Structure 1
Amino acid sequence: MSTLDETATPEELLARVALGDEAAFARLYDELAGPVLGMVVRVLRDRAQSEEVAQETMLEIWRKAATFTPERGNVRSWALTIAHRRAIDRVRSEQSGSDRETRAGRLDPHRDFDEVAEQTMLRLERDDVRAALASLTDLQRRSIELAYYDGYTYREVGALLDIPVSTVKSRMRDGLIRLRHVLGARA
């Protein structure tokens, strides 16, 4: 591309941008970024979101430069129209999300949805553990239940089941290996 003329109009710059001229886009960006951001801030009234939408607008200008038709207006008006449309879209998106949350809250205002998801996950995990425990031998299952659920030591489990401590340890080890295998297959 040839060097840019310092007096190039926004329309001339945009025509060069349509051909992929990054230097022309940098100049056009310098001319349009302020007005675009100003338009978006007036609509959104939130600086952080406005900066994001302004960047999205400038990116859209880069991508759609070839679609600009000078007969329909000037580049600045075209850019501000894109900015306004994107800002309105953001407002609608935010409002839609807020409306969804409000409707969900009206369904059951006392229920916290994170709590529901957590309770559901815990129930599913408990069901998985129960099913995995059912896959163990009686001695493995009973040893693990006494030790992990009832808090007994190896010695106490051995006394309750009337088996040696070494047998308790080996049955629990084998049972835990089996549980890890069964539960790992479900993950």
Structure 2
Amino acid sequence: MAEPPGPPAAPSTGRPPDADLVHRLAQGDRAAFGELYDRYGTPAYSLARRICVDPGLAEDVVQEAFLALWRHPARFDPTRGSFGTWLMTLVHHRAVDAVRRENTQRRRTVPLTDDDSAFVESSDHQALASVVSAEVRAALHTLPEEQRQVMALAYLGGYTQAEVAKLTGVPLGTVKSRTFAAIRRLRGTLGNLWAGETTGVER
């Protein structure tokens, strides 16, 4: 009598981990780069578009970020967090830099008229927001790595908790608990700032 068949093998997703793809990329594997782009090209563009607004500028930002990945894949350290978090942070920084360059260029090339008063007011708000953002980014670095990871995606990237869970591979409940713990710590660190303190800001 034939022996009964054993349990079926677990299906393979066929998707290597991000860290493995980055390692292969560091060895010159173009296919690994293509797979990383397929996974993160769309969310990277969505983040850049939120910050830049202009679609062409957002595309340039994404190209710059992936070019940096292609040239220096070893800059990603898997011991410090997920690849998705690292890449989205890189995209965010480059998008902010691009917007600042565009605003500076616009001020230099476009003469100021009475019709530009709304733009000037908006720029003043952006300058103040950049000061606050710098304080928040500094405070984020005081958090434990797992809390900083979810807060960076939520604050810097503008992602929902469900989207953060998907990007990081962490259960939604864990993302929520880490976010709650991080907010409690940040309230203590940023208490003076959130209370309206402006000490040290030049007029």
TM-score using structure 1 length: 0.50
CA displacement, residues 64-101 of structure 1 (integer Å, 9 cap, x when unaligned): 21121112111111111111111011001001112223
Give 1:113-128 correspondences, 5 Å limit.
none
Deviation at 1:60, TM superposition (A): 1.0
Deviation at 1:12, TM superposition (A): 0.9
Q: 2:72 aligns with which of 59, 64, 77?
A: 64
State whether structure 2 residue 97 is matched by structure 1 residue 89: yes
Q: 2:47 aligns with which of 39, 42, 46?
A: 39
Answer 1 or 2: higher relative contact order, Cα 8 Å, separation at least 6. Answer: 2
CA displacement, residues 9-64 of structure 1 (integer Å, 9 cap, x when unaligned): 11111111111110111111100101110110010111121112111111111112
Which residue of the partner structure matches residue 38 of structure 2?
30
**Secondary structure of the residue that 2:36 maps to in structure 1?**
helix
Which residue of the partner structure matches residue 99 of structure 1?
107
Q: 1:75 aligns with which of 71, 83, 96?
A: 83
Count of matched residue positions in the alignment of Structure 1 and Structure 2 = 100
Larger radius of gyration: 1
Which residue of the partner structure matches residue 52 of structure 1?
60
**Secondary structure of the residue that 2:16 maps to in structure 1?**
coil
Which residue of the partner structure matches residue 7 of structure 1?
15
CA distance in 2, matches of 1:6, 1:13: 12
Cα RMSD for the two superposed structures: 1.6
User: Percent identity over the alignment?
Assistant: 36
> Unaligned 5+ residue runs, structure 1?
107-187
Q: 1:20 aligns with which of 11, 28, 43?
A: 28
